[in-house]
Amino acid sequence: MAGAQPPQVSSSNYKAIQEITVPKEYMIEPGMKVNGDGSLVLYVVQIAGDSLEYAVMANKTRLTNKLLDVAKEIKQKTGDKNISLDATDYRYTMVGDLMPSPLWQGVVYGVATATAGPMVLVNSLKPPDYASLYSNAGACPSWFAGVTGEMIAYFARKDNKIKLFADEEIALEDGALPVASAIIRGKRKVYVVLTANRFSLYVDGKKISEDYDAIEPALFYKGTATDSTIAYIAKKGDKSTLVVDGKVQETAFVPSHDLVYAPGGDPFIYAAVSSGREFVVRNGVRVTKDKDFARVRSLTFDRTRTKIAYVARDVNHEWVMINDQKATPDYDIVTFCQEQFRINGELCFAGFDVAKSSIITGKVAGPAAETPADKTKNDIPLYDGKPVPKIGDVFTNPKDAAEMVWVPAGGFTMGGTEGYKDQEPQRSVYLDGYWMYKYEVTVAQYRKFCEATKREMPEAPRWGWKENHPMARVSWQDSADYAKWAGVALPTEAQWEKASRGTDGRTYPWGNDWDATKCANSVEAQLKSTKPIGSYPTGVSPYGCMDMAGNAWEWCADWYGPKYYANAPTKNPTGPPAAVKFKEAGKTYEGTRVMRGGSWDFVYRDYFRCAHRASYDPTDRYALSGFRCARTS
């Protein structure tokens, strides 16, 4: 590259992070990924040599191809003489859809080799739940769909039919081919199919559009498995249109590609084209007022929805833009971390310089947070609010002075294989980010609520009311009323469990080994009452929550169902939709609510496990029952 130009931003906003030298015999392919602080760049290289070979790189390290090792192990166990041990047969002849995945703790990508059809790998190995990936036989041009917080999804051939494999198998119509990676949000799967040289859009296996010459989908996911806005750009002849939930939208410019919808559909942004040149449009208005480019791509917006970042290209070079300002130098290939920009407006980028054979990462400071006129400084920050929280952040609810800790969005292991059967099956569950009370609600806080709402305090337990102890003798409705007054809610039992055990599947909030000194219990201590909140700091949960084992049982928002986990959603589950009738130990129960965490009076350590579920009559006011609150967007 001849002389990278300086960015069109203040030099104080621009910071170089690292430079990664790439061997000259490696040719970088499009599709680089960079993380949110510029410390890690993932990319695919084609290796110069006599045969076609690709590799996946993490900074300067080549991710080892372990397929040959797997083949050796299988051959040794089975004695199958047809299994080749020639290393050249296991070279990657294709690599695509490179995606870092925190849930899978690795890099997920699709490959093909000389001896095998396409397959999905995690860190060079097939993930365990997808060990029997089906061979494609080369008939499907878009064989890898993608990865989400919950699942790996891919297109492949089985029983001579091409299917989309995710949490279910969805067969394509005979003669149909997938032509674009599927968009997976929650349980919705959106993809484009080519049939008889015509393109159409499918959602969850059903065709929802007419046939077009070309189509590009976008999916705005609102929060449930079915509540989504489906939008796409469709082309027929020389006409290009924007379609939202089946309705054609009037547009002042010709939409081309990279359609992105923000929550609520405001803003929607896309790349438009005029006389062969491209530019960015937001809600019908040009973002680049007097600039157009050979190509724009990778459109996204920040949390304030006032800043739009994208890659622009002209002739041989490309760079990142923020609105109509150039934000980075020119590179031969450039990328940026869209997730980080959406969270806090920081632009972390990686650019490849062919002449230097190096990758440079850097960061451009994000825009200052904007406070809407209808918000006050005492508002509890929402998941998509301002400031955007991170692990370790603590916010004080101005209503009751309760400290709240942030639990970020992502997957975790819910349920257990030990203890009662109502904790099974153990499964991976995804939750949106939320705030969780650091402590159980105290007697002092509940007294303030009673005074404000002119209600009586419940009957005191035998040890009397102690202001810094967790509140006791409250029913489920008492707890829900308090939460409403405080501008929060009772946590779902999924929220409670994630806040308690984090993402490593631990047994107790502090780890996997029982320790009676880390919670208020009577397994060894033989306590006579609750203890002041926070009395066991070594029993803190991964996110900073105290007393999530012992002290007081805690009401959750959910109805209790002993078999609920068998068919529960894996994204933001909220429990059965209505009261459940069931039998247990010869007795019939109906309309019980979930309690979690154990209490000071319990002598069995199983009750203090993060996955343990308890079922109680919501009208009762036990001396053992308390609660804490949560706040979601």
CB distance 624 to 600 below 8 Å = yes
Same domain, 456 and 600: yes
**What is the predicted pLDDT for the residue at 544?**
92
Spatial separation of the C-alpha atoms in residues 274 and 262, rounded to whole Å:
24
Long-range contacts made by residues 480-485, C-beta under 8 angstroms, separation at least 24?
A: 480/555, 480/557, 481/449, 481/453, 482/441, 482/446, 482/449, 482/627, 482/629, 483/627, 483/629, 485/399, 485/449, 485/452, 485/453
Strand partners, 161: 158
Q: For residue 456, tell me if it sits in a domain.
A: yes
- What is the CA angle 551-557-563, rounded to 5? 100
The residue segments making up the domain with residue 451 are 394-632
pLDDT of residue 146: 64
Q: Residue 103: what pLDDT?
A: 52
Q: Which of 350, 367, 384 is the last residue of a domain?
A: 367
Q: For residue 599, what are the CA distances in angstroms to 212, 480, 521, 539?
A: 62, 20, 6, 14
Do 583 and 439 share a structural domain? Answer: yes
Q: Are 439 and 343 members of one domain?
A: no
Whether 510 and 562 share a structural domain = yes
Instruction: Return d(Cα 364, Cα 302) in angstroms, integer.
Output: 13
Q: How far is CA 455 from CA 92, 449, 451, 452, 478, in A?
A: 70, 8, 7, 8, 10
pLDDT at 116: 67
Do 449 and 575 share a domain, yes or no? yes
- Within a domain: residue 145? no
431 and 344 within one domain: no
What pLDDT shows up at residue 143?
A: 53
Residues 278 and 343 in one domain: yes
Is the pTM here over 0.85, yes or no? Answer: no
Q: Is residue 116 in a domain?
A: no
Contacts of 263-271 spanning 24+ positions with Cβ under 8 A: 263/220, 263/222, 263/384, 265/220, 265/229, 266/305, 267/301, 267/305, 267/308, 268/231, 268/244, 269/299, 269/301, 269/308, 270/233, 270/242, 270/299, 271/296, 271/297, 271/299, 271/310
- Residue 222's φ and ψ, nearest 5 degrees, are -90, -20
Which CATH number does the domain housing residue 534 bear?
3.90.1580.10
Residues of the chain with pLDDT under 70: 1-14, 101-106, 116-117, 126-151, 180-182, 184-187, 218-228, 262-267, 366-388, 633
Q: State how far the Cα of 437 lies from the Cα of 506, in Å rounded to an integer.
A: 20
330 lies in a domain? yes
Tell me the CA distances in angstroms from 264 to 133, 224, 430, one per residue in order. 38, 14, 22
At 6, the amino acid letter reads P
> Do 351 and 475 share a structural domain?
no
Please indicate, yes or no, whether residues 606 and 474 belong to a single structural domain of this protein: yes
CB 520 within 8 A of CB 550: yes
pLDDT of residue 494: 96
Q: Specify if 534 maps to a domain.
A: yes
Is residue 626 in a domain?
Answer: yes
Residue 443 sits in the same domain as residue 337: no
pLDDT in tens, 128-178: 554 344 333 333 334 566 665 556 777 777 777 788 877 778 888 888 887
Q: Report the pLDDT value the prediction gives residue 58, as an integer from 0 to 100.
A: 87
Residue 354 sits in the same domain as residue 409 = no
Q: Given this model, what pLDDT does residue 437 score?
A: 96
Task: State whether 619 and 483 are in the same domain.
Answer: yes
Q: Please tell me the predicted confidence (pLDDT) of residue 547.
A: 95
List, for residues 305-345, the tens digit of each pLDDT value: 778 999 999 988 999 999 888 889 999 999 998 887 877 78
Residue 203 lies in a domain: no
Provide the number of structural domains found in the chain.
2
In a domain, 256, yes or no: yes
